[in-house]
Amino acid sequence: MPFELLRSETLLQGRAFKIRRDYLKTPDGRETKYDIVEHGGSVVILPVDQNGNLLFVRQYRHAAGMDMLELPAGTRDSDEPFEVCAAREIREETGMEAGKLQHLGSFYLAPGYSTEYMGVFLATDLKHNPLEADDDEFLSVEKIPIREAIQKAERGEMPDAKSLAALFLARLYLEEYQINNGL
């Protein structure tokens, strides 16, 4: 017998997400509640330049209380297609436009409490074509060779879950890209 949704209530409507409380009947008949972050989805991008570098962004993350090195990422605008979101976000965050965007996979960022579903894209054939950054974003772009980026992740020097998951999903594609481009 599956969990049965009894009712839901909105606790908070924020700018990028909403928090709701779901009341459920468990398979053994008890009632329980879950607080859920309702999120419209997002993307994370692995931009690779012609020299075999991944473009990362460094930005302050208040919840973590530190500057973090991350792959470019962003939230979908309502029902915006994931690929359109990825094309926009790479331009906003790195100033580069992808000549080719390849969807590598998707995952739930934190399914224990959030509906956020994130698409992962490999971006190649980059050219300079920036869009204005969001008002609350203060970030810098850092170019890191593919092998070095993977080593940083393996050593625990990149504590950002979306970047780690994206690097894991992209690892074979990145290795193939290096081989095909003589890097």
Q: Report pLDDT digits (tens) over 9-28.
A: 999 999 889 999 999 999 99
Q: Report pLDDT digits (tens) over 106-137.
A: 999 999 999 999 999 999 999 999 887 777 77
Full set of structural domains in the chain with CATH: 4-38 (no CATH), 40-180 (3.90.79.10)
pLDDT of 1 reads 64
pLDDT over threshold 90, residue 99: yes
Classify residue 113 by its DSSP letter.
Answer: T
Cite the DSSP H helix spans in 44-157: 82-94, 146-154
Q: Report pLDDT digits (tens) over 27-71.
A: 999 999 999 999 999 999 999 999 999 999 999 999 999 999 999
Contact 49, 37 (CB under 8 A): no
CA distances from 25 to 36, 67, 84, 176 (A): 16, 42, 39, 48
pLDDT over threshold 80, residue 182: no
Global pTM exceeds 0.75 = yes
